[in-house]
Amino acid sequence: MSLFKRTPKPTVTVTYVSASGNKREVAVPVGTSVMEGAISNGVDGIIAECSGACMCATCHVYVDDAFLDRLEPIAETEEEMLSSAFAERKPNSRLGCQIRVTANLNGLMVTTPEAQQ
Amino acid sequence: MSGGVVIAGAGQGGFQVAASLRSEGYDGSITLIGDEPSLPYHRPPLSKGFMARKQDAEATDLRPDSFYREQRIELLTGERIIWIDASNRRALLATGGQVSYQHLVLAAGARNRLLPVPGARLGGVCYLRTRNQAMKIRGRLGDARSVIIIGGGFIGLELAAVASSLGKHVLVVECGERLMSRVVAPIISDFYRELHCAHGVIFKFGVKTEYIAGRGDKVSAVVLNDGTSHPADLVLVGIGVVPNTELAETCDLRVADGIVVDQHMRTANPDVYAIGDCALHPNRFSGGTVRIESVQNAVDQARCVAAGIVGRPYGYQAVPWFWTDQFDIKFQMVGLSQGCDRAVTRGIPESRMFSVLYFKRQRLVAIDSVNRPSDHMAGRKLLACGTPLTPEQATDTSVDLKSLVA
């Protein structure tokens, strides 16, 4: 019955590290966001109150340096939201909802702050 | 089932009460009751990314089903409380059972105001509140060529933006003289009219719908009270909502435009709370009581109730904020502008980056920002702290609003 088999969506592995160092490896579908990967897998530390509208800055993550230059640049809205985020804005700060997962992000590691609000 | 917290309504607010109770350390039973068949989900994307097919249904779930198991939240979907027996602290369910409670939270939301004209029940006339309704509209949008949107508020305009981006012929019918007139200054209404017009959307202002023509599952035209008739194969109605207060009335709680609560979101019955779209609450930013339909309001009131239940009560005083995405423009609102006596503009509308700052008796009461998120975020802090700001400072773009926050 292969006719009816759904082709699985391609995924990449994203590792979410909590502020206290706990790691969760999650298969995140290409095209979805780092925030969505966390929410749909019950990863703690990401709240996403505004559902990805870049409005609440509660999906703040620190991106592993090795991946920073593979990300799309920070848009102005994201920059402004980050500068008002609850946890400290660092050079590797991003909003999880604004990082679309692509094939070349396989192995991406992000750390969540101690608190989002 | 016995004791614990029972939450009537599994929208954003109801969900948040459950989640916050657990994160606040509440250990009793939590029953979350929603009348929709699915897991609780985010509503904002329904008229935006979900409608534009950029997101699928699952991506709008607030949490996966494992969350409810792990957090010991009993989620009853497709279920509804129909009657509250307050003296015995129990609630009767539509399917016949009952639940008893120690605390009951009414997070009943609101329902769409219906268009009171002939033809409004035709199949091609759709409303948007639930994910199922959104799926239905999304399906019909695929085949539609001409879409008429009744109501030039947030929902109507977000749908207009999606429909016109999909190449549909879009007409928006608004009975008032300008867009989003209930909440924004004329300069913003004008900006949005021009934005939509530039994308081919057509507007008719100051007219009402006389009737909708069609047969069975299909609409054919909308006839307005100026005598004109406009062909359509899909009619979307967004003319506001009515709060769901009936449940509160079953146990004689006070109801006005919403369920009346105090600053702790508590009704006159100390065991019963109300939050979100259905709660008429005292709000420091309105200077009276108000009912607010927004994610922020639902979530922050939910947190307030959860804190109260675990014995750490505080009066609700969160700064109201709201957003809408239409085309490529981010519009963010903070504060409540109703009753303002002066509005000044910061930046130039033609640059598509400007804010309107609203004052009431020389105090800043709200900021609406078009593509100026820094003004919005500064506004949240300025309003929370009550920082003084003059209209002159407000219009001077060389003044960094954030720097004024103490």
Can you give the CATH number for the domain in which B161 is found?
3.50.50.60
Can you give the CATH number for the domain in which B381 is found?
3.30.390.30
Question: Would you state the pLDDT for residue A8?
Answer: 72
Structural domains counted in chain B? 3
Average pLDDT value for residue range A98-110: 96
Three-class secondary structure of residue B372 per DSSP: coil
Kindly determine whether residue A55 and residue B323, on different chains, have CB atoms separated by under 8 Å.
yes
Distance CA B362, CA B359 (A): 5
Distance CA B396, CA B393 (A): 5
> Which residue is associated with the tokens 């303002």?
B340
Produce one character per residue of B78-87: b if its CB has 16 or more CB atoms within 10 Å, e if not. ebbbeebebe
Distance, in angstroms, between A20 CA and closest chain B CA?
A: 17
pLDDT over 90 (residue A2) = no
Query: Does residue B195 share a domain with residue B132?
Result: yes
Query: Does residue B156 share a domain with residue B62?
Result: no
- For A:63-102, CB contacts with B below 8 A are 76-77, 80-81, 83-84
Kindly determine whether residue B325 and residue A83, on different chains, have CB atoms separated by under 8 Å.
no
Question: Would you state the pLDDT for residue A112?
Answer: 97
Query: Does residue B288 share a domain with residue B269?
Result: yes
Query: Does residue B232 share a domain with residue B182?
Result: yes
> Which residue is associated with the tokens 């559902």?
A51
B373 vs A36, A40, A80: nearest CB:
A80
Question: Would you state the pLDDT for residue B128?
Answer: 98
Question: Would you state the pLDDT for residue A4?
Answer: 56
**CB B404, CB B389: distance < 8 Å:** yes
Residue B106: give the domain boundaries: 5-111+242-309
In a domain, B303, yes or no: yes
Transcribe B207-276 into DSSP letters: --EEEEEEETTEEEEEEETTS-EEE-SEEEE---EEE--HHHHHTT--EESEEE--TTSB-SSTTEEE-G
**End-to-end distance of chain B based on CA atoms, in angstroms?**
50
Domain end point (choices B185, B217, B237): B237
pLDDT, tens digit (0-9, with 9 covering 90-100), for B138-185: 999 999 999 999 999 999 999 999 999 999 999 999 999 999 999 999
Query: Does residue B333 share a domain with residue B188?
Result: no
In a domain, B20, yes or no: yes
In a domain, B317, yes or no: no
**CB B31, CB B55: distance < 8 Å:** no
In a domain, B289, yes or no: yes
pLDDT, tens digit (0-9, with 9 covering 90-100), for B228-281: 999 999 999 999 999 999 999 999 999 999 999 999 999 999 999 999 999 999
- pTM of the predicted model as reported, rounded to 2 decimal places: 0.94
Fold topology of A23-111: Ubiquitin-like (UB roll) (3.10.20)
In a domain, B315, yes or no: no
Listed in sequence order, the residues at least 6 apart from A59 whose beta carbon sits closer than 8 Å to its beta carbon are A34, A35, A38, A46, A47, A48, A52, A95, A96, A97, A116
Q: For the purposes of burial, counting CB atoms within 10 Å of the CB of B336, is it exposed (0-12), middle (13-18) or buried (19 or more)?
A: buried
Contacts of B70 in chain A (CB under 8 A): 42
Q: Provide the pLDDT confidence category of residue A44 given band limits of 50, 70 and 90.
A: confident
Among B236, B82, B247, which Cα is nearest to B173's?
B236
Domain end point (choices B214, B237, B260): B237
Chain pair A-B, CB pairs under 8 angstroms:
54
Query: Does residue B58 share a domain with residue B15?
Result: yes
Question: ipTM value of the model?
Answer: 0.84
- Percent pLDDT > 90 in chain A is 73
Query: Does residue B263 share a domain with residue B204?
Result: no
Distance CA B199, CA A69 (A): 35
In a domain, B322, yes or no: no
Average pLDDT value for residue range A61-71: 96
In a domain, B314, yes or no: no
B42 vs A51, A76, A83: nearest CB:
A51
Give the residue with greater pLDDT, A52 vs B18: B18
Listed in sequence order, the residues at least 6 apart from B104 whose beta carbon sits closer than 8 Å to its beta carbon are B5, B6, B7, B8, B84, B89, B91, B271, B272, B273
Instruction: Kindly list the averaged pLDDT for each block of 10 residues, start to end, along chain B of length 406.
Output: 86 97 96 97 95 90 94 98 97 96 98 97 96 97 96 98 98 98 96 98 98 94 98 97 97 96 98 98 95 97 98 97 95 96 97 97 97 93 94 95 86
pLDDT, tens digit (0-9, with 9 covering 90-100), for A9-40: 799 999 999 999 999 999 999 999 999 999 98
Query: Does residue B247 share a domain with residue B160?
Result: no
Kindly determine whether residue A42 and residue B42, on different chains, have CB atoms separated by under 8 Å.
no
Contacts of B381 in chain A (CB under 8 A): 84
A49 vs B49, B60, B299: nearest CB:
B299
Query: Does residue B137 share a domain with residue B37?
Result: no
Distance CA B246, CA B23 (A): 30
Kindly determine whether residue B44 and residue A51, on different chains, have CB atoms separated by under 8 Å.
yes
In a domain, B318, yes or no: no
